[in-house]
A and B are shown apart, each in its own frame.
Chain A
Amino acid sequence: MSDVGTLERMFGDPWDPANPLGHAAAVAADEREEMFGEGERLLDRFVLNAEFVPVEYGGRLTGLDRLVRMMRPVWRRDPCLGLGYGASSFIASVNVWTAGSDEQRRAFARMMLANRKIASVYHELAHGNDFARAEFAATPGPPGTLLLNGRKEVVTNAKRADSLVVFARTSPEEGSRSHSQLFVHKEDLPPGRMTDLPRFRSMGMRGVQLGGLLFEDCPAPADAVLGAPGRGMETALRSFQLTRTALPSMMVGVLDTGLRTAIRFTSGRALYGRTAADIPQVRATLAEAFADLLVCDAFGTVAARAVHLLPGETSVYASLVKYMVSKLLIEAMDRLSLVLGAQFYIREGEHAVFQKLLRDLAVIGFGHAARVACLATVLPQVPQLARRSWPAAAEPPADLFRPDAELPPLPFDALTAAASGRESLSTGPGALLDEHGADPDVRRLAEVFARELAALRDEALALRPRDLGVAATPEALAVPARLAAVLAASACLGVWRHAGDPFLKDPAWVVAALTRLTARIGTGDGRLPAPLAERLLSETLTRYADGRAFDLAGGPIPG
């Protein structure tokens, strides 16, 4: 069996100090700046790599939302495993599934299924947005070869990977048709032409092997290029929509453990004659973290399903998921750290996992610049979206919001570099207002977000072309940032409207989710009224006691 529950059970109770796959062992590996060896061996046994390989190539990748759910047990326990074992090969893989030949795809699949590692070798961690400036070059060499020259730095698994997907300049011309990805096997390279650079150390993700590679007139087979030469920028823009959508959503598992740690801490700690869990401020913080987690999961899940159902629109959703979900997760963890107080930076004992998760989340390339880059990617599309889709677009298909509904295969061919003004998710608030008998609180909040979309439309139409490029002002970048909040609200509304689960079809969570999101558009402070916070907290504590995850699916977890 290879479902989420099986993987959770194989990992076992993370809080058991004797569990070699538990938090204590993961924290100890982090202290040694090593990958979590027991965890890696478990994932080898599970052949986690199969999750990154489409079914037609012998793997288990059927849907992006399933992949996200499969990865959460890993991220919940150790983000170093999540990235260093899992996601880095996934990042490399999407270039191959999108642009590779059948033969290249088969070779990639064979290596993955044999538990090998493949590194994604871009200039920076693969999601940097300025890789167009990459100087690393692949130029024609002796017949049938390309000569590789240059340095690549801060590359996950650079040293231990058997193969590489390398982003290289293949033409000196300016413009966006001058780069290509090369799928290179280290065993095909002559000795001495590719050398490992010293490992980079980092303040979080300390177990991940961040390396560098230096190529000096290193010949590679000319047929290593993925797709037509010069198409690398487009391949990156199209294929990284999968990773931008999926990675932040996998990290919902990190907030799950963060929230679980905070509950564990507060319920066991007596302050002023009561437990910390009795303090109203603490209760509100826990409830709000749960609401934020649900927002992240709803937006991430809907965007992952959109890759299947609305691939022409996902260039907008993917970047905004990365922006919004990473921001919500980091900020929720920061607030939970206040609940833990002085405990949160202690690197020993059962709460030590929290400080590790906080550091891991902070370094994962979700710093301020990366989030701005995500907004900058969407900004040039905004005036067209306003002209063509706001607020009149047709509603998206209902299956977008039903995590249990079957999906068509991942349509790698249908991904586009830009959405050409087509975007239908933002219809959510308006559609709800057209319904009769909707819950009055949900309705009131839907009106807030429908008004916000109308305001965004006016502002988007007033943007001048020079506002859209590298000189974009903070005011211009606020338009895609606020759009992200509208889309997240739409995703929550959609999941709620189509839910069958008793908790998910109850208005409480969606009212909480949208209330939290009003802070992102400047129409509220995001604080939950006490009765609503208590309702959410009661669900949180019930799930905690029952050993269930805090995400939409709420499946059983050990411990």
Chain B
Amino acid sequence: MSNAPSTEDLRIWLIQRVASYLEKDPSDISPSVSLTQYGLDSVYAFVMCGDIEDHLDLRLEPTVAWDYRTIDALADHLTTLVDRRAGGAG
């Protein structure tokens, strides 16, 4: 990917995804609240993992959202993965 998304880009994108799962307005979603608090259980973790993989063209453990349980934590982790890939490719 030529323009690797920043942590902030990823955060905004994840907020939009989570809002769409919950059929809520993105302004109602806090990136520091655990996803399970929003009722996003293990089922949604698999759905979200697939969406992230498609968005970033990455392969992830299907349980990635079990380990990184807020949007903030996920955005940080995904940035690391994207940066590592960019570094590896360069």
* A interface with B by C-beta (< 8 Å): 132, 174-177, 233-234, 376, 379-381, 383-384, 387, 416-421, 465-466, 468-470
Contact = CB atoms under 8 A, between A and B. Distances in A.
B36 interface: yes
Interface in B40-67: 41-47, 49-50, 53-54, 59-63, 66-67
Query: Which 3 interchain pairs have the tightest Cβ spacing?
Result: A418-B62, A384-B50, A465-B21
7 contacts: A175-B66, A379-B43, A418-B62, A420-B53, A465-B44, A468-B43, A470-B43
A418 B43 CA distance: 10
B63 A417 contact: yes
B27 interface: no
Nearest to A380: B43
B46 A380 contact: yes
B50 A421 contact: yes
A316 to B, nearest CB: 11
Interface centre among B34, B50, B61 (most CB of A within 10 A): B50
B46 A381 contact: yes
Contacts of B50: 383-384, 387, 420-421
B69 interface: yes
B20 interface: yes
Contacts of A466: 21-23
B2 interface: no
B3 interface: no
Given A175-B66, A387-B54, 20 more contacts: A132-B41, A174-B37, A176-B63, A233-B42, A379-B43, A380-B44, A380-B46, A383-B47, A383-B50, A384-B50, A418-B49, A418-B62, A420-B60, A421-B50, A465-B20, A465-B47, A468-B43, A469-B41, A469-B44, A470-B41
Interface residues of B, number: 26
Contact of A420 (B41, B42, B49): B49
Contacts of B20: 465
Contacts of A176: 41-42, 45, 63, 66
A246 B21 CA distance: 35
Interface centre among A175, A381, A383 (most CB of B within 10 A): A175
B13 to A, nearest CB: 15
B78 to A, nearest CB: 16
B29 to A, nearest CB: 14
A89 B66 CA distance: 29
A317 to B, nearest CB: 16
A384 B49 CA distance: 10
Contact of A469 (B36, B43, B61, B69): B43
Nearest to A472: B43
A468 B23 CA distance: 13
Contacts of B49: 418, 420
Contact of A132 (B42, B46, B59, B61): B42
Contacts of A418: 46, 49, 62-63
Contacts of B59: 420
B26 to A, nearest CB: 15
Contacts of B45: 176
A234 B54 CA distance: 23
Given A233-B42, A387-B54, A468 B62 contact: no
Given A174-B36, A175-B36, A175-B69, A420 B62 contact: yes
A73 B20 CA distance: 52
A380 B46 CA distance: 7
A418 B49 CA distance: 10
Contacts of A132: 41-42
A234 to B, nearest CB: 6
Nearest to A132: B42
Nearest to B37: A174
A421 B52 CA distance: 13
A233 B66 CA distance: 10
Interface string B7-26: 00000000000001111000
Contacts of B69: 175
Contacts of B67: 177
Interface centre among A234, A416, A419 (most CB of B within 10 A): A234
Contacts of A421: 50
Contacts of A233: 42, 66
A233 B37 CA distance: 18
Contacts of B43: 376, 379-380, 468-470
Nearest to B40: A469
Given A177-B66, A416-B62, A417-B62, A380 B36 contact: no
A380 B47 contact: yes
Contacts of A419: 62
A376 B49 CA distance: 17
A52 to B, nearest CB: 27
Contacts of A381: 46
Interface centre among A132, A376, A384, A387 (most CB of B within 10 A): A384
B74 to A, nearest CB: 13
A384 B54 CA distance: 10
